[in-house]
A = this chain, B = another copy of it.
Amino acid sequence: MNLTDKQRALIERIGVFMEKSGMQPAAGRIMGLLYVSDKPELTFDEIREVLGISKSATSNALSMLQHLNRLEYITYSGDRKRYFRLKLDKWRDLVMQGVESITDFSETLHEVVAERTSETKEYNQNLLEVADFLKYLHQELPKLLTAWEQQKK
């Protein structure tokens, strides 16, 4: 498989974007490749080869991405290779996962306020405000998702 310059550039751009949100470089490139590749299902060796990375880097990145729920593989009977692909159709779950994590932070904020002096009234108020909005988001985002599904039709 060979890629155009434009494709390579897109892969890098997506890779860097992923890195910024805490993903390791190789994993980001794999994500990018799977977004861009004309074949959306690639084997271990195709990935390794086209990105020019080692087996270990490939293996580690792939298993991390699977744990993060971004990737899965399928197999075809009579073929031992795994075909890796993005779990694109599950992006709704990922959105919800993200919301959960900020909701965790909201709970931490409540703990913080519980531990704070009551002297700093305005400050505490601000903290609770943030926490409350995060909780609101948690509650409203699913609705937003269904509203979007509706208007899409």
A94 to chain B, nearest CB (A): 9
**24 A–B contact pairs at CB < 8 A?**
A17-B104, A17-B105, A17-B108, A20-B22, A21-B22, A22-B22, A35-B109, A36-B112, A36-B116, A38-B116, A38-B117, A38-B119, A38-B120, A88-B127, A88-B130, A89-B126, A91-B126, A91-B129, A129-B152, A132-B148, A136-B144, A137-B144, A140-B144, A144-B144
Interface residues of A (CB under 8 A from B): 4, 6-7, 10, 13-14, 17, 20-22, 35-36, 38, 40, 88-89, 91, 95, 104-105, 108-109, 111-112, 115-117, 119-120, 123, 126-127, 129-130, 132-133, 136-137, 140, 144-145, 147-148, 151-152
Q: Decide: B123 and A14 in contact? CB cutoff 8 A.
A: no
- Find chain B residues with CB under 8 A from A10 CB: 108, 111-112, 115
Closest B residue to A118 by CB, please name it: B38
- Residues of B with C-beta under 8 A to A21: 21-22
Q: Which of B20, B95, B108 contacts A14 (CB 8 A)?
A: B108
